[in-house]
Amino acid sequence: MELRIPAADDLHIHLRNDERTLPAIKAVREGGSCRVLAMPNTIPAIATGREAMEYRSYLQKQGADFDILTTIKLTPSTRPEDIAEAANLNVIAGKQYPLGVTTNSEDGVSDFTAMYPIYEAMQSADMVLSLHGEVPQAFVLDAEAAFLDILVDIHRNFPKLRIVLEHITTQAAVELVRSMPEQVAATITDHHLDITLDDVIGATIKPHLFCKPVAKRPGDRRALNEAVREGHPSFFSGTDSAPHLIQDKETACGCAGIFNAPYHLQFLATHFEKLDMLPRLGPFVSQFGANFYRLPINREEVVLIPRQVTVPPQYDGIVPFQAGNTLAFDLAWC
């Protein structure tokens, strides 16, 4: 049976500012999205509202034919006046990376209490705090769980600040977000609904499934899927689609990131049908995130068609998520 839904919001995507930008842009609509929240950890990083506007213009000149919502990167050098300027330029979120835990986070945060003046400015400006929730130096499987107390402290001190815990991977994160007020939400990626650490480093090493936070245990994956199945509005889609060229993944020190945007809705429809929760797809990708960010529901629509499609082994020099696999749904724009 076909499924017609509003086009997706991808509320966590990496569009780069180099040779990977063109395939990253092309993939957005191919995967069923028409509005995205572009992450700021480019080189150089997007640190001010003016830089965010320049980045949006760059993406549009590169051919982006979808709505681009912008972020700025929060670092120890960020000032409250930077938040005010960004908010005045319609930047809707500030993204905070812990020091050294992921791609281009060498200027990340290690002292979270030192950022309290920034959180205060964001709360006053009604700008969303987007958090990569891992503790620097923590054991990789425990880094997200170790961050949760920090999230609780931030919310306790700034109760009106809207916070998104990005790309959650653990049962502990699911349980915490489920228990918190509506000001706290979480994104869930396509790949974390599907893979565990065994898929990455089990029988063989799969560098194209390596991401941060790393995929966790089967029980964690089960908790993520159950959060989606129950239709809790605090959990919504963000692909964290992060393209890296093949040579940057298949190397001794490979980059973290999975490129899942090209077959985003095709994969999710396949996955949701397999778990008998296909009716949850529309709210997860098109409604809950828009409501949290106080955005209108997209007017454009897509239809998921029960027709097999095989994901190619490469996509413009990048290996996409599900490469070589056959999905049960194809996609068309209405």
Residue with tokens 């945007």: 261
Q: Is 95 annotated as a binding residue?
A: yes
Pairing of strands 301-305, 3-6: antiparallel
Query: In the chain, what are the domains?
Result: 8-297 (3.20.20.140)
pLDDT of residue 105: 55
Identify the active-site residue in 240, 248, 316, 330: 240
CA 235 from chain centre, in angstroms, equals 12
pLDDT digits (tens, 9 = 90+) for 66-118: 999 999 999 999 999 999 999 999 999 999 998 766 665 566 688 889 999 99
Which is nearest to 125 in space by CA: 92, 166, 163, 77? 92
Task: Please state, in angstroms and rounded to a whole number, the distance separating the CA atoms of residues 321 and 235.
Answer: 22
Dihedral (C-alpha) 96, 97, 99, 104: value to the nearest 10 degrees?
A: -120
Task: Please state, in angstroms and rounded to a whole number, the distance separating the CA atoms of residues 301 and 284.
Answer: 15
Mean pLDDT score of the chain, rounded to an integer?
97
Q: Is 41 annotated as a binding residue?
A: yes
Tell me, yes or no, if 240 is annotated catalytic: yes
Q: Is 155 annotated as a binding residue?
A: no
Q: Is 14 annotated as a binding residue?
A: yes
Q: Which segments within 192-328 are labelled E, that is strand?
A: 235-237, 301-305, 309-310, 326-327
pLDDT digits (tens, 9 = 90+) for 52-66: 999 999 999 999 999
Task: Please state, in angstroms and rounded to a whole number, the distance separating the CA atoms of residues 61 and 116.
Answer: 36
pLDDT digits (tens, 9 = 90+) for 200-209: 999 999 999 9
